[in-house]
Structure 1
Amino acid sequence: MIGPDGPSKREPSRAAGTRRSSPGEILHLLSAVVVWLVTGTTISSLNKWIFAVYNFRYPLLLSALHMLTAVVVDYGLVKYWVARRTRTDGPDLTRSVRRKVLLLSLTFCASIALGNVGLSYVQLSFAQMIYTTTPIFTLAISSLVLGKQHHVLKYTAMMPICLGASFSILGEVQFDQTGCFCVLAATLLRGVKSIQQSILLQEEKIPSVFLLYLMAVPSFLILAVAALALENWAGLQALQHYDRRLWGFILLSCLGSVLYNLASCCVISLTSAVTLHILGNLSMVGNLLLSQMLFGSQLSALSCAGAALTLSGMIIYQNSELIAGYLDARRARGPAGTRRDMENDDGEQRQEPEPCSESTSGPSRESLELSVVSTFTPAGMRKDRKSGRLTD
């Protein structure tokens, strides 16, 4: 990472080992980001539509169905895609790695479940504004727990993001304490989950499809047990009493969640956990528009100001390295007009002309003095060079 004084000791400098990304890698990253943004925007709206319009009060069951769909889809991808490429059944996992995957599954379950529970109580726009604070938790965890160093501008960018979220909470029209607590807890767990994913994807080198499959199996079991134990099944009507379109929306939500999780794993493996959530703030704009169009959500002036502050913090974070490089270049250049080395058009360096000295241009002080003395000295007299006196 980059510290306040430049690249930290943990990370080699960019100048020492920068590798230009190939067009294929750039296209892969862009496609993953686009899929992640689109699915992240549509899933939140779909889930809110299921809870609000069809009065489906089973968020844990919906989360379990998401994980079941991930198990089915990823099983096919692992068997027919990853296995064909590696000619194995997947990477060999040590006991330590399996423990990390299990912890990731627990965090994943809790974040999804709390997010869906909170979404059933609060407006979509309010939930999205709280989710924008995820980079704060991710940055804090990576600094305190993992010991990673970040540039001071990245910490500065968190200030408007945090302030914008505070404005959104204060300006919320339909505030619900339970929903706010669930959304805040889900936001914290999303930051923890991203750090865990980055460790498994970047350090343990586990393929994203295989990692999602590994954590989907225990996640489905945990969420299914939680749904059976905690949700009110007495109020569940027979399946035929529900509108058929409800199951179509649930299926779209499940498939979208699989694409969202796959794309998020790809983005984390290619960038970082904090960058993932900073990019996710772009989906906030789409979710706010959908919240107003679909659910008639009301945004106060304070909430709009919070959204503007959050977007400004995102812009500062995304361009922190560019700003730092510009400031470092200005600092290294020093005051204007003091640079001595300049480059010609041919790329060769040349020196600025220096002021005239005693040994370079024009007659020296001693020769001038002798000429003056010889001019005004009578004939037959000469000047002693050591004493400066006139002698015969």
Structure 2
Amino acid sequence: MSAIKTPPPNKLLTFGLVSSWYSSNIGVLLLNKYLLTNYGFKYPIFLTMCHMSSCALLSYIAIAWLKMVPLQVIRSRVQFVKISALSLIFCASVVSGNVSLRYLPVSFNQAVGATTPFFTAVFAYVMTLKMETWLTYVTLVPVVTGVVIASGAISCHFNAL
């Protein structure tokens, strides 16, 4: 029995997708920061609603009309509850991030976000008692160290003002 071979990934397409994802994330972050601080917009939850609604609409178009990925159905109540919990947590995360933009510089917001892989690995261990490879933890130490150093520099800068 032979294995089904998948075609090699198109490197240009992969680069384009990663670049557009990265650019759109930066664009949303900077636009939210501008609206909340410079423009005086006072509704970070409304921005989150717009963000989530746009994602839902574009996802629907990509799935139902463009057939980019197959439609998946929810198979059980348990699966629905798990998806709902994940959705609520993600929404709370985006709301918190938008609210924080009123008080924090974008650079600090991004620096704190860079620690996400470290805390994900730690909490995954706490919740499942399954460790990542030692190399994973070792490679995350410089990231967290850099964030701590950058946060201290940002903090000193704002205390000086």
**Residues 41-73 of structure 1: per-residue CA shift (max 9 Å, x gap):** 222111112122211121111101112222333
Inter-partner Cα distance in structure 1 for 2:69 and 2:21: 24
**Residues 121-180 of structure 1: per-residue CA shift (max 9 Å, x gap):** 1111111111111111111123332344322122112222222222222222226xxxxx
Q: Does 1:142 align with 2:142?
A: no
| Shift in Å, 1:26 | 5.1
Question: Higher helix share goes to which structure?
Answer: 2
In structure 1, which of residues 54, 58, 79 is the aligned counterpart of residue 64 of structure 2?
79
| Shift in Å, 1:85 | 7.3
Inter-partner Cα distance in structure 1 for 2:135 and 2:6: 25
Inter-partner Cα distance in structure 1 for 2:72 and 2:86: 19
Structure 1: segments with no counterpart, 5+ residues: 1-18, 176-297, 299-392
- Answer yes or no: is the 8 Å Cα contact 1:50–1:56 preserved in 2: yes
| Shift in Å, 1:29 | 4.0
In structure 2, which of residues 97, 101, 119 is the aligned counterpart of residue 115 of structure 1?
97
In structure 2, which of residues 27, 32, 42 is the aligned counterpart of residue 47 of structure 1?
32
Return closer, same or farther for 1:46/1:85 CA change in 2, 3 Å cut-off: closer
Q: Computing the radius of gyration over CA atoms, which structure comes out larger, 1 or 2?
A: 1
Q: Does 1:62 align with 2:44?
A: no
- Answer yes or no: is the 8 Å Cα contact 1:122–1:174 preserved in 2: no
Inter-partner Cα distance in structure 1 for 2:138 and 2:5: 29
Inter-partner Cα distance in structure 1 for 2:98 and 2:11: 33
TM-score (norm 2): 0.80
Inter-partner Cα distance in structure 2 for 1:48 and 1:105: 23
Match of 1:97 in 2: 79
- Answer yes or no: is the 8 Å Cα contact 2:36–2:42 preserved in 1: yes
What code does the residue aligned with 2:41 have?
F
| Shift in Å, 1:110 | 0.7
The alignment covers a number of residue pairs equal to 155
Inter-partner Cα distance in structure 2 for 1:20 and 1:140: 36
Structure 2: segments with no counterpart, 5+ residues: none
The equivalences for 1:1-392 within 5 A come to 22-24=7-9, 29-82=14-67, 90-172=72-154, 173-174=157-158
Return closer, same or farther for 1:27/1:104 CA change in 2, 3 Å cut-off: farther
Inter-partner Cα distance in structure 1 for 2:97 and 2:83: 21
Between the two structures, name the one with larger relative contact order (CA 8 Å, sep ≥ 6).
1
TM-score (norm 1): 0.36
